[in-house]
Each structure stands twice: as structure tokens, then as C-alpha cells.
Chain A
Amino acid sequence: MTSTSMQVDHGSLEPSLGSTLSANEVCAWFGDHYVLDRITLEMPSKTVTALIGPSGCGKSTFLRILNRMHELVPSAALAGTVLLDGTDIYGPESRATLTRQRIGMVFQKPNPFPAMSIYDNVLSGLRLAGIREDEPELFVEHCLSRAGLWKEVKNRLDAAGGGLSGGQQQRLCIARSLAVRPDVLLMDEPCSALDPTSTARIEETIDELRDEVTIVIVTHNMQQAQRVSQQSAFFLAEENEPGRIVEAGATEQIFGDPVDERTANYVRGRFG
């Protein structure tokens, strides 16, 4: 059964090859605290965009604005527009739940649902969204394979997700996000709690997914940003100032020949 299912054409299961996400003049507040100042950034399809910068400069806030998780904080407010393939996700037509289905998110801490098995975790996104899957078993295999976890868990799909190692849990979370067939996948320091081997495995996964899903990743690991991303944006918040993008561009250029002196200092590890 396993061997035959490998040969099944997954064409119908593929997502729409990624979408372009672009932020225009995005500002953010928590209460009266101004945390992000006019961020403009285009995140094209088939590209991994890395957001780098010291802690507290608004990278995560920006990421959460991109799939409307920002508004879950009661005091949060924002300005500007975020366009997903040309449609404003904050527009009057848009619904937060549908937006989040199209723009998935992987968190810093692996958070598989503890009351569900590995199998149910993968399908949880669909169930939560009320979507029915015709061939769930095949679909679970497909999602786990894309997240690079299938081989390790195929014999214990009904084990609890919490029993996996940290790296496996994180890949399970990636599989869970992919199951909703997002066009964009946001990753908020997905490897910061993992060991180097798991990190390498997840970076591999990111690389494999790049052609299918637009990926935006926040990372504190400069080497990781260089390894996985094609485009980088350096965020910085000066003292008592909101976070701004100091410099954005091709990863090679940001790390090899940065224009701004602060970027050069940061990527070469001289501060932050």
C-alpha cells in the first residue's frame, strides 16, 4: 500500500505555486506604543524572504500583521495595506479566517495539538476550517512527505504528536500548516528551539517548499538567513523609535555588500 501510494500523482493536491505578498507603508501600534514605522516590502512568489534584525525591532509584529494575527492582541492597531496577489487582506471584503487559511504560520515553539494524534494534527487545519478531504490518508501522507516527516512517522500515525522530538514536532506543525494549502507560509524563528540536525532538516524542507509556497522567515541566525533565503530585509529599532527597514534586497547583496553601515555591522556580528 505504501509503495503504490508513492506513485500516485499528487497533481490535484498541489497548491497554486505561491502568491506575491506585498506590504505597503505598514505601521503598527500596541496601545500608544508605536512599534513599526512605514514598512514597505514585496515578498514575491518562489522566493524565501528572511527578516533579520535584533530582538524587539518589530520583525515578529510585522510577520503577524501579514496574516492578521496582529489583531488578536486587544490593544493592537495598524495602518497601511497588505496585498495578497493584489487584494488587500485588511480590506472590507476580506475575512480574517479566510486570510489565515491562505497565509499559514509556523511558530517559534513547536505547538502540535496535544489531544490529537499525528494523523489528526495534520488534518486539524482542514477540520478547523470545516473542509472535508476525500482521501484523508493519502493527503496526510502527502503533507507529511512535503514537510519531510513521513518516513519517520509513517508507522505511528496514531501516536500523540507531543511524543515526537522537538524537530519532528516543528515539521509536524509545518505539515499541519501545509495541509490547509496556503499560498504563503510565515515562519517565526522556526528553528530557534531546535538542535542543529533538526534545523538542517527544516532548512531542507524550506528549500523544497520554495517552489510551491511563498515563504517569509524571521530568523536570528545569520547563517540560516544566508542559507535559506533569496531576499532579506534588515529591521532595526533605534532607541525609543519604532522599527524600520534599514535595508532590503537580495540576500547576497545584504550579506556580501550592504549599503548601510548598520546592516554591515549587524550581519558581520558587530552589534545586536
Chain B
Amino acid sequence: MSVSIKPAPTHSSASGGGSADLGREPNKVKPRSFRASDASALFGSMLAAAALVWLLFGVLLPVDNTAMASLAWMATFLLTYRFALKHTEGVLVARDRVMAVVVGALAAIVLAALTSIVIFVTVRGIKYLSTTFFTQTMEFTGPVDPSTEGGIAHALVGTLQQILLATLISVPLGVLTAVYLNEVGGRFSRSVRMFVNAMSGVPSIVAGLFIFATMNVGLGWSFSGFQAALALSILMLPTVTRTSEEILRLVPGGLREASLALGSTEWRSTWQVVLPTAKTGIVTAVILGVARVIGETAPLFMTAGGSPVMNANPFEGAQESLPLYIFRQVKQFSNEQTIPRGFAAALVLLVLVLVLFVTARAIARPKVERTGRKWRRRPRRSRTRGHRAGTSLASGTARGRRGAHRKPRLRRPSQRGAQRSTANPTSTEEEAL
């Protein structure tokens, strides 16, 4: 709660304000709609509510329930706050402020839930993270061995292989489906879209069961990481498809027309114009798809099977994965030696997911910044031109791929070329619009 009540302008200029060194600087005032009386109403209501709740729960009622007390405090506070404001500011302002408090409180609860998960797992897991934890397997470690023994090497390998395979299967399928839905269209597009939407509702255990029934029971294959990848790609496919479709829809139709008007076929214009333009968005779609399945446990039981031994061949034999490992350590063996290992593995998984999301955000960022950059680009551009004045035609077109890139965040020149091709594809459409 940032309640800063500035002194009146005349006062602070007389005393020199906070910045005594820069005495001649004009006195800055930040206009705020939140005034001293508002602060007193807020804190006063909080105090009044706290006093009332203390009276009720601490003195009068014979119950000792913190959760109920805090709920009662929240309700009393809101009521008090509303009545206090209604008298001084009127009904509309009172409602507005109360809703602001409610929304803020709910946001704080969600944030608290998220951070507490991260903190809880970190606190319980970080102690057991060691080099051996990443290099060892559970081959020679039993349920009663100390927590410092054994590791997740086999689970990490399994997870990475399964996710990679699932990505390789579902991304081409998903992107092509999105291309079909958005670029080709046709009479089946509605039903395909409906199926994709329905698929996103398939419970993960059903996906696992389906692969188990067809591969294990039907074809007689034994557990393998590949089967897990198949089950996971069933779950990834709708996410990848729907996100890619949304992204492709953002590509302006003018670009398709322009490329068709140059005499291109539809496939070439999709492949060389539409997809490159949507590249950043499609990368985001892929990462969202991966994040969707990386923590899946249920389908892996019936497909990967799980194993305490390192198995680097995803096409044969049971394979471990991080979620399976966590389940086994925490729930199946469930003793003082295994549970810490489970938490440490959970921490690794959490970091993996966080890294993915941060990557997704970083890649998707240019879209958010596109309006501001339009203006900042001018001086950059002229500077680049100054550097390159006198560059001959040959070197200018030597495909050196230097020059004006469009991501202000990147500073390392060596990265520029590579990054520029993934730079914000949609800024021109914005400008054109």
C-alpha cells in the first residue's frame, strides 16, 4: 500500500524539500487522487474491524479459529470501509474503493498461493540438491538408504527425451492443422476446429489409457518412452494447434494477397511469407504446449512405466521421468529418506517449467513493446546509418546480416543477425493499420 502524503507545495519549497542539494529545482508535485483522508479511512476501517473481530473471537466467543477470524475481519473491514466512505465521499466512490480493495485482495491471494508453492518446494528441496543428485540414478538406492544417495539422472534423461519426442510429433501436426484451419479453410475446417477444442478437454489419464490400450495391449509393445511421448503429444496437440491458429489469424491478409499477387502459389506464400511472419508466435505456441505436458504424471504410468535404472533409449524398455520419480519418492515409498528426494526433484521440475515460461515471455515480448519502439527507432536508425556510411554495395548485400535489428533488448552484436529474423513480425501491420 503506497500511501505517500506530500506536503503542500509552499511548505516544501520553503524548507528546501527532500533535495536540499538541488535547492533551485522547481518543486515537484505528483498529483494523487489518494489523499490523507482516504488513508485514514482505510487504516481506520482496518483498525476498527480488527478491534471488533478481536472482541468477538478473542473475548466473547469460545472459538479459536484463525481462518474464520480473518474472514470475519475482511468482511467487517469492507463493511466499515464502505460506511465510512459513504458518509464522506458518496455511494459511488465508496463502491469503487470497496471493489478496488476486493480485487486487490483476491489478486494478493492468488499471488500468495503461487509464491508459497514455489517457496515451499524450494525450501524443502534445495538442501538435497547436489552434483551427485544430478548424476546418479536410483539403481543402487533402496527406499531406506539415506536421502543424500541416489539421483535423478535417469528421470531427467527420460523427461527430456519424452518431451522432445512429443514436441517433434505434435508441433508439425499442430502447426499444419493450424495452417489448414486458417489458410486453407474448406468445408471441414469447422469440424476439425471442433475436434481440436474437444481434444483439449481430454483428461490426461484417458490419453495414457488410449496409448496403453492400442500399443501395449493392442500391438503388444512393452513400456517405452516413445509411448509416453505419444500420449503427451495427444495432450500437446490441441494447445499447439489453437495457439498457432490464433497467431496465424494475426498475420494481416494484405501479406497473403501481396505474395499471391506476385504469382506465388498458396503453399509457397504460406511457407515463405505467412509462417516466417508468425514465427515468434509459433515458438510461443510450442513452448506453451511443452509447459502443458511437462508435469503430466498419470499418462506416464501406463506408457513409460517408470524405472529406477538409466534407460537412454526411448524406444525400448521402461523409462523414468521427473513426475514419476516425484510420485514414487513422495507417495509410494513415502518415508523420511525418500520424501526429500521427491522435493528436490520437484524443485528441478519447477525450475524447468519456470525457465520455459520465462523463455516464452521473452520471445513473445516484442509484441507488447511494439507501439513504443516505433518512435525510439529513429535515432537508432540514423546511428546505424552513420556507422555504415561508405559501405559498398558488395558488403552491404554480402548477407552479413548486420544493421538495424529490431530488438532493443539485445546488445551483443554477434546475436543480432540471428535474432533479427525472429524479431517482431507484426510491427508493420500495426504501422500500416
Instruction: Spell out A's residues near B (CB within 8 Å).
Output: 1-2, 5, 67, 69, 72, 97-102, 104-105, 107, 109-117, 119, 124-125, 127-130, 136-137, 140-141, 154-163, 166, 169, 173, 176-177, 180, 193
Contact = CB atoms under 8 A, between A and B. Distances in A.
Given A100-B262, A163-B406, A193-B432, 20 more contacts: A1-B394, A2-B393, A99-B263, A100-B261, A105-B261, A107-B261, A109-B254, A111-B255, A111-B432, A112-B428, A115-B276, A128-B265, A128-B273, A137-B393, A156-B403, A156-B404, A158-B401, A159-B403, A160-B420, A169-B428
Q: Which 10 A-B pairs have the closest CB atoms?
A: A162-B428, A101-B263, A128-B264, A115-B276, A125-B262, A159-B404, A105-B261, A111-B254, A100-B263, A1-B392
B431 A162 contact: yes
B76 interface: no
Given A115-B421, A163-B381, A137 B259 contact: no
A98 B254 contact: no
A140 B391 contact: no
A130 B271 CA distance: 13
A158 B396 contact: yes
B423 interface: yes
Interface string B249-288: 0001011011111111100110011001101000000000
Nearest to A131: B263
B380 to A, nearest CB: 9
Which residue of A102, A114, A140 has the most chain B CB atoms within 10 A of its CB atom?
A114
A127 to B, nearest CB: 6
B256 to A, nearest CB: 9
B416 to A, nearest CB: 10
Chain B binding surface, main DSSP class: helix
A34 to B, nearest CB: 24
B331 interface: no
B182 interface: no
Interface string B53-81: 00000000000000000000000000000
Contacts of A109: 254, 432
A1 B432 CA distance: 35
B246 interface: no
A268 to B, nearest CB: 33
B389 interface: yes
A116 B272 CA distance: 10
A28 B404 CA distance: 45
Contacts of A117: 401
B365 interface: no
Contacts of B279: 115
B426 interface: yes
Given A109-B254, A114-B429, A140-B397, A158 B259 contact: no
B259 A124 contact: yes
B141 interface: no
Contact of B260 (A72, A154, A155, A173): A72
A129 B258 CA distance: 13
Interface string B384-403: 11001101111011011111
Nearest to A186: B261
12 contacts: A69-B261, A97-B264, A102-B263, A105-B261, A113-B255, A114-B277, A114-B428, A128-B269, A128-B272, A155-B391, A156-B385, A162-B427
A68 to B, nearest CB: 9
Interface of B: 252, 254-255, 257-265, 268-269, 272-273, 276-277, 279, 377, 381, 384-385, 388-389, 391-394, 396-397, 399-406, 420-421, 423-429, 431-432
Contacts, number: 143
A100 B389 CA distance: 38
Nearest to A128: B264
Nearest to A176: B262
Nearest to A150: B393
A155 B252 CA distance: 28
Given A115-B425, A157-B396, A160-B404, A110 B432 contact: yes
A2 B395 CA distance: 10
A137 B252 CA distance: 29
Contact of B261 (A1, A67, A154, A156): A67
A251 B268 CA distance: 40
A214 to B, nearest CB: 16
Contacts of B427: 114, 162
A158 B263 contact: no
Given A114-B277, A161-B428, A156 B264 contact: no
Contacts of A119: 397
A157 B395 CA distance: 10
Nearest to A158: B403
Given A69-B260, A113-B277, A160-B404, A1 B393 contact: yes
A52 B427 CA distance: 32
A97 B263 contact: yes
Given A158-B399, A158-B403, A129 B381 contact: no
Contacts of B264: 97, 125, 128-129
Nearest to A179: B262
A115 B260 contact: no
A186 B392 CA distance: 34
Nearest to B397: A137
A166 to B, nearest CB: 8
B397 A163 contact: no
Contacts of B429: 114
